[in-house]
Amino acid sequence: MKHSLVLATLLASGFALGAAAQTAPTPAAPSAPAGPAGPTKIAVIAFQVAVAKTNEGQRNFADLQKKYQPRESALKTQNDEIEGMTKQLQAQGATLSEAARASQARTIDEKKKKLERDLDDLRNEGGQEAQQMYNTLASKVYDVLSSYAQQQGYTLVLDFSQQQNPVLFAQPSTDITAPVVDAYNVKSGVPAPPPPPAGSSAPAAPKPAAKPPVTH
């Protein structure tokens, strides 16, 4: 039985890493002086994608991946060892005594249980750290989003990165994901991540939590 390693599972789900994706800050109604009602100006944003695509988000994502890489590699080594022992037992089982087969089977079972415990520990630890990291960054990105929306005169901003979102149609011109990312990068001062060295692969990019609304 193959075990999916923690970062392959967690990081593939996006910067929010599973549970963290569900904890984006709830937009608060901005306080504004009472005045005559004007025309409604609405924008949409893929908020989780915006958080992930900021320079700070990409940097934090890469740092988290780098931090857990040694433990992930150790788990892969454990998994490879178990698979090798299992194949060996299957190939030599007919030539081994019943006691020898039982002994090897117990050893494999113990190693599998240890691997499962180690995987759970890493998932829990990595998930908690990722959630804290996402929450902190999402709160700062929301502050920039709020300021940007007010400066541009938007009266309502809808998030279409949630799985269950009410946005069925939106003109591309109403999508402010990229401008908000640019505005946050300017405010944070965090430079863009350097390109990977030639011949090496870049860290897996966070996957968008949802596709933009389809226009017809």
Q: Which two tokens stand for residue 49?
A: 């994608």
Q: Which two tokens stand for residue 80?
A: 């490879």
The answer to whether 86 touches 108, Cβ cutoff 8 Å, is: yes
Q: Angle at the Cα of 112 (from 107 to 117), degrees rounded to 5?
A: 130
The model carries a pTM of 0.71
What stretches in the chain show pLDDT beneath 70?
Answer: 1-38, 199-216
**Which of 213, 205, 197, 165 minimizes the C-alpha distance to 53?**
205
For residue 167, the model assigns a pLDDT of 82
Instruction: Report the 10 Å Cβ neighbour count for 190.
Output: 16
For residue 199, the model assigns a pLDDT of 64
List, in order of start, the domains of the chain with CATH numbers. Answer: 41-188 (3.30.910.20)
For residue 110, the model assigns a pLDDT of 97
For residue 161, the model assigns a pLDDT of 85
For residue 197, the model assigns a pLDDT of 73
Q: Which two tokens stand for residue 45?
A: 């944003």
Give tens-digit pLDDT for 165-210.
Answer: 778 788 899 999 999 999 999 999 999 998 877 765 544 444 444 4
For residue 163, the model assigns a pLDDT of 72
* Mean pLDDT for all residues in the chain: 80
For residue 16, the model assigns a pLDDT of 39
Residue with tokens 């004007």: 38
| Residue count (the chain) | 216
CA distance 196 to 39: 47
Q: Angle at the Cα of 115 (from 113 to 121), degrees rounded to 5?
A: 105
Instruction: Report the 10 Å Cβ neighbour count for 64.
Output: 20
The answer to whether 51 touches 134, Cβ cutoff 8 Å, is: yes
Contacts of 50 (CB under 8 A, 6+ apart): 141, 145, 177, 180, 181, 184
Quote the percentage of the chain above a pLDDT of 90: 58
